[in-house]
Amino acid sequence: MSSDEYGQSVDAHGHEHHEVDGPGYPTPAAMRTESEREKTAFVMSLRVGMDVDGSDFIGVVDVDPDSDTYAELIDTVEMPNKGDELHHFGWNSCSSSCHAEGLARDHLIVPGQRSSRIHIVDAADPRNPTIEKVIEPEEVFEHDLSAPHTVHCVPEGKIVISMLGNADGELPGGFLQLDQDDFSIDGHWESDLGGMEMNYDYWYQPRHGVMISSEWAAPETYYPGFDLEDVEAGNYGDSIHIWDWETKEHRQTLSFGEEGLIPLEVRMPHNPEETEGYVGAALSSNIIRFWEDADGDWDWETVISIDDREHPDWDMPVPGLVTDLLVSLDDQYLFFSNWLHGDVRMYDISDTGSPRLVDQVWAGGNFGDRQTVDDHEIRGAPQMLQLSRDGRRLYWTTSLFSSWDNQFYPEIGERGSLMLKADVYPEEGRLELDEGFVVDFGDAPGGPARAHEIRWPGGDCTSDVWQ
């Protein structure tokens, strides 16, 4: 059975310990070894902030090398409005509901970061997704929330979205909960915000009753662009937050200070026994590890630091800007991108406190020798990452956020961004750019687009959580 089809059966995935047909895989290893190779990708594709008079769209990219349309954009689902800034997205249901009867992984939840509009997309046919329902911004603002970001399905039939601002685009944000049945808004997920004002990404570990959230800034601060004055004024985040997953209360703030400015993506190991994880501090360009102590409090340390680099054309040293990271389904490798430098790195994390750099690929950016792939200019640099379930192919896109692209890689706003790929050899700890794979969103039908987050039908290492 193809992994491009939803609702994998019990037989296909060896659910020996229960009799319910659920929407995911019983273990991370089952997803890694029993799913088939990805055949199509959903890619968030944007026109916001460009002189292209069109909507953002969900791009469907053919990633099946046996197909005649390999490495091509084979479908585009235009949003009904302009100006959304599609960014991150997620599933109605994943392996966290593996044992739940009657659920299928068949809908994508696709928020607009700027518009605060939330699209519910029927993705049962991975080659032809269709918009089923639209939650208009006014319905979101009624809950004094805006700027939807991370989407996770959670057990008990709910979907939780991190929201970065209040209805005016100021602080604090919070979490919006939707019902999986009819995609109606339940209200706020959290019962007590405690010390949380800023929000960004989150990950949860239901076996240990914990959720970890990170910080960007107020929408009114980061929306217009990155201003160092805002960093100096303390308007950007430097902390992560520990939540009680059961009571939905804020429990603890871990403040990193200068070591952890703008902590963005939060990733925990897929093994549900683990009580630790990593967050990428974009501006400080550090990977910070966090873990639960024996006494139940959480602690942290910086485990990887990317040094700023001198550049002849820049007045100040250039930070790496770690904008995305992910952990392979077997929890052996950590990958992350340095969007300003131009490399993607692969670390062995079998000793979680002492990551070991095993390989890196340079493509585009301010320091990469390679500035073209297959005769396409690389606009931008490695940014949003997605790994194949078997851990053998790493894909990425090169755009960060429309207004921030304009500052650092303005050519993306004129000619769009790209999707690229590297082959991964986990047995050898090696990573190699696939020079035969390039999807140039500059050639998208209707005009250039920015490409952002990537997901596979059937789930991936940044969508699924195990109970």
Partner 1 sequence: MPHTVTLEWRGGREATVDVQEAETVIDATERAGLGVPYGCLYGACATCTGRLLEGDLVHVSRPRGLKPRHRQGGYVLLCVAEPRSDCRIEVGAEIQADLVANPWK
HEC profile for the chain? Answer: CCCCCCCCCHHHHCCCCCCCCCCCCCCHHHHHHHCCCCCEEEEEEECCCCCCCCCCEEEEEECCCCCCCCCCEEEEEECCCCCCCECCCEECCCHHHCCCCCCCCCEEEEEECCCCCEEEEECCCCCCCEEEEEECHHHHHCCCCEEEEEEEEECCCEEEEEEEECCCCCCCCEEEEEECCCCCEEEECCCECCCCCCCCCEEEEHHHCEEEECCCECHHHHCCCCCHHHHHCCCECCEEEEEECCCCEEEEEEECHHHHCCEEEEECCCCCCCCEEEEEECCCCEEEEEEECCCCCEEEEEEEECCCECCCCCCCCECCCEEEEEECCCCCEEEEEECCCCEEEEEECCCCCCCEEEEEEECCCCCCCCCEECCEECCCCCCCEEECCCCCEEEEECCCCHHHHHHHCHHHHHHCCEEEEEEEECCCCEEEEEEEEEEEHHHCCCCCCEEEEEECCCCCCCCCCCC
Site for partner 1 in 144-163 (CB under 8 A): 146
Instruction: Tell me: does residue 228 bind partner 1 (CB under 8 A).
Output: yes
Which segment (198-206, 249-257, 317-325, 379-387) binds partner 1 by CB under 8 A? 317-325
Rule CB under 8 A: which of 411-430 touch partner 1?
413
- Whole-number minimum distance, CB 225 to partner 1, in Å? 3
Residue 168 touches partner 1, criterion: CB under 8 A: yes
Q: Is 403 in the site for partner 1 (CB under 8 A)?
A: yes
Residue 310 contacts partner 1 per CB under 8 A:
no
Contact between 220 and partner 1 per CB under 8 A: yes
317 binds partner 1 (CB under 8 A): yes
Does the footprint of partner 1 cover residue 57 (CB under 8 A)?
no
Q: Contact between 386 and partner 1 (CB under 8 A)?
A: no
Q: Total residues at the site for partner 1 (CB under 8 A)? A: 42
Closest CB 131 distance from partner 1, rounded Å: 20
As measured in angstroms, the least distance from the Cβ of 50 to partner 1 is 5
In angstroms, what is the minimal distance from the CB of 137 to partner 1?
8
Pick one of 28, 137, 355, 391: the residue that binds partner 1 (CB under 8 A): 137
172 lies in the binding site for partner 1 (CB under 8 A) = no
Interface with partner 1 includes 83 (CB under 8 A)? yes
CB of 236 to partner 1, least distance (A): 12
Q: Is 82 in the site for partner 1 (CB under 8 A)?
A: yes
Among 34-42, 44-52, 257-265, 385-393, which window interacts with partner 1 (CB under 8 A)?
A: 44-52
Q: Which span sits near partner 1 by CB under 8 A: 80-88, 177-185, 260-268, 370-378?
A: 80-88
Closer residue to partner 1 (CB): 255 or 314: 314
Part in contact with partner 1 (CB under 8 A); list of ranges 108-116, 151-159, 183-191, 424-432 = 108-116
Q: Which stretch binds partner 1 (CB under 8 A): 3-11, 42-50, 173-181, 330-338?
A: 42-50
Residue choice 407, 428, 430, 436 for contact with partner 1 (CB under 8 A): 407
Residues at the site binding partner 1, with contacts judged by CB under 8 A: 48-53, 82-85, 114-116, 137, 146, 165, 168-170, 219-220, 223-229, 313-319, 402-403, 406-408, 410, 413
